[in-house]
Amino acid sequence: MSKIKGCIFDLDGVIVDTAKYHYLAWKRLANELGFEFTEEQNERLKGVSRMKSLDILLEIGKLNFSDEEKLQLAEKKNNWYIEYISNMNSNEILPGAKEFLQIVRNNGIKTSLGSVSKNSMTILNNLDLAKYFDAIIDGNKVTHAKPNPEVFVLGAREIGVPEQSCVVFEDAVSGIEAAINAGMYSIGIGSKKVLNKANIVIDSLADMKIEMLELL
């Protein structure tokens, strides 16, 4: 019997290839405001809420705006992002994601989404992915972005699994920190160098085997 009873998945960059669209939209905003924004700088925005992301972006660009103006800038970015994701198709489901979700469920392990994106439901519905999750926690249900553990703690509560029996799958540094703050195991999807606090790091869910949960 596995000690892992719940798997909590981030969405952007773990299940679907949308992290690139967030980056493109932020970069477009930065360029329009007159500064460059690199992929390396973008690591700081992953897993971070929309408004917090904007604050980091403006800090990089050394620009100040009023709260009112910031809301408008965030809305502009989000409209571009929605435009990008409206053309998404199943090719943008990341390798191995659906297959691993199915295997997890077949093994009697509960699944939850744990994303701070307010656009999560749109993506899950467009790609018919909602059916793979026993619980869905998104940006509309939480008040604190990662690395605050709220999104994962709520996920564990909704699937009825104690924190210490959950593992989080994450592509963001802030997400791995949130998992640690929640008292959960974590599996990083991406670079070992960037996600060095995770228990295990893999390139994609295509490399994930259910037996690996025993290694945690």
Indicate which residues carry an active-site annotation: 10, 12
Q: Which residues contact 33 (CB under 8 A, 6 or more apart)?
A: 61, 63
The rounded distance, in Å, linking the Cα atoms of 176 and 172 is 6
Burial (CB count within 10 angstroms: exposed 0-12, middle 13-18, buried 19+), residue 98: middle
Q: Is 48 in the site for ligand BG6 (CB under 6 A)?
A: yes
Can residue 73 be called a binding residue for ligand BG6 (CB under 6 A)? no
Site string for ligand BG6, 108-127 (x = CB under 6 A): -------xxxxx--------
- Which has the closest alpha carbon to 92: 121, 56, 123? 123
Tokens 């408008």 — which residue? Answer: 72
Q: Work out whether 49 is an interface residue with ligand BG6 (CB under 6 A).
A: yes
Q: Which segment (9-17, 78-86, 95-103, 140-148) binds Mg ion by CB under 5 A?
A: 9-17
Q: How far apart are CA 31 and CA 35, in angstroms?
A: 5
Question: HSE (CB half, 13 Å, CA atoms) of 26?
Answer: 29
Cα 183 to Cα 153: distance, rounded to the nearest angstrom: 9
Q: Among ligand BG6, Mg ion, none, what binds residue 150 when CB lies within 5 to 8 Å by partner kind?
A: none
- The interface mask with ligand BG6, positions 12-31, x = CB under 6 A, is x---------x---------
Tell me which of Mg ion, ligand BG6, none is bound by residue 139, counting a contact when its beta carbon lies within the kind-specific cut-off of 5 to 8 angstroms: ligand BG6
177 binds Mg ion (CB under 5 A): no
The binding site for Mg ion (CB under 5 A) comprises 10, 12-13, 171-172
The binding site for ligand BG6 (CB under 6 A) comprises 11-12, 22, 45-50, 53, 78, 115-119, 139, 172
